[in-house]
Structure 1
Amino acid sequence: MSTTPPVLAAELAQAWADIQRHHPELPDLAAPESLIGESSSACGAELSFERLLHEAVHGIAAARGVRDTSRAGRYHNRRFLAIAEEMGLDHSEEPHPSSGFSLVTLSPEAKRRYRPTIERLQRALKAHSAATATDTKRSFRGPAARHGSSGGGVRVKAVCDCGRNVRVVPSVLAQAPIVCGGCGKPFRIPEAVGAAR
């Protein structure tokens, strides 16, 4: 088994600590591993320093008792935006219809401030990607529970006979079939799901 995931978890924890130096009210990151393999269309699917800073905005909102999202965490409101601006994130002028102000990017100032942190994390992410590129269906990646979500675990694509697909945690699909409303057949995880990535 590769030692890369613990190294990546350590780098995530260090990057979080670097953010805390500039924003002391940011709570500790309880489980860096929860960000590895986690995907959220509202918060960003790709793990990066920008995504970590986005998550830190949610952390500060929680510490302040500010409700920064609605619609089950998908819509990022103007309270999220105000904290994001404090932390060096830029945004578009208009909110996205379904995710609000979730699409934030690093400002030039934040890129300068966190440059060494960003470079360290990018190296760790690159090593992690190389180590997990050989994952097979027998590889266990562990749960990736998100704050405020109802579930946890890495979601994979499941397909039915008519070609429709859904993202599902494999353990949920193993409990009972999920049936397609279009063709009436159960969704299944294709054998080559790891090879298709």
Structure 2
Amino acid sequence: MSTTPPVLAAELAQAWADIQRHHPELPDLAAPESLIGESSSACGHELSFERLLHEAVHGIAAARGIRDTSRAGRYHNRRFLAIAEELGLDHPEEPHPSSGFSLVTLKPDAKRRYRPTIDRLQRALKAHDAAVASDTAGTFRGPAARHGSSGGGVRVKAVCDCGRNVRVVPSVLAQAPIVCGGCGKPFRIPEPEPLAAVG
């Protein structure tokens, strides 16, 4: 098994600490590995320093008790944008109808400030992607492949034998079983129902 994911988690934690040096009120990142392998469709970014800074905006909003999103976290409001601007992010256009100001980008001064951090994290991400590609080459990818998910935050219903269900990103479920606390059996993505014959 590759040792790259722990290395990437450490690099994410270090990058977060670099952001905290400029913004001390930012809470600690509890689980950097939770960002690996799953981008957020609401945030609209693959894993990158820009995405990490976006998540830091949410962290500062939480620390300040500010509600920065609505619509189950999809719509990023002007309070989100105000904090994003403090952290060196910009949204030069009008808000998106469904995601608001979620697609923020790094301002030039933030790129300069964080250049060593950005470069270090990009190297770790490239190494992680290469390791994942070699680890999964020629292997069965599980439910993610059947349902066409790239791990981009699209959740589907997974069920267990006792009738409970959860919404989960297929690629996350493919990594390891998620076990039901009620019956102790793993959740699974049900096979699609066959189409009824016409005619």
CA deviations on 1:158-179 (whole Å, 9 max, x unpaired) are 9999999999534999999999
CA contact 2:78–2:101 (8 Å) conserved in 1: yes
Whole-angstrom distance in 1 between the partners of 2:14 and 2:147 = 20
CA deviations on 1:153-196 (whole Å, 9 max, x unpaired) are 99589999999999953499999999999999999989999999
Unaligned runs of 5+ in 1: none
Shift of 1:92: 2.3
CA deviations on 1:112-169 (whole Å, 9 max, x unpaired) are 0000000000000000000001343998999999999999999589999999999953
CA contact 1:144–1:152 (8 Å) conserved in 2: no
Mapping 1:47-196, distance limit 5 Å: 47-136=47-136, 169-170=169-170
The 1:46/1:78 distance shift into structure 2, 3 A limit, reads same
CA contact 1:155–1:167 (8 Å) conserved in 2: yes
The 1:192/1:91 distance shift into structure 2, 3 A limit, reads farther
CA contact 2:61–2:83 (8 Å) conserved in 1: yes
Shift of 1:41: 1.5
CA contact 1:57–1:80 (8 Å) conserved in 2: yes
Shift of 1:42: 1.6
The 1:128/1:104 distance shift into structure 2, 3 A limit, reads same
Whole-angstrom distance in 2 between the partners of 1:148 and 1:191 = 16
Whole-angstrom distance in 1 between the partners of 2:147 and 2:26 = 15
Q: Runs (4+) of structure 1 moved beyond 4 Å?
A: 137-168, 170-197
Moved more, 49-58 or 187-196: 187-196
Whole-angstrom distance in 1 between the partners of 2:93 and 2:158 = 36
Whole-angstrom distance in 1 between the partners of 2:126 and 2:154 = 19
TM-score (norm 2): 0.72
Number of equivalences: 197
Alignment partner of 1:135: what SS?
helix
Highest CA radius of gyration, 1 or 2?
A: 2
The 1:191/1:105 distance shift into structure 2, 3 A limit, reads farther
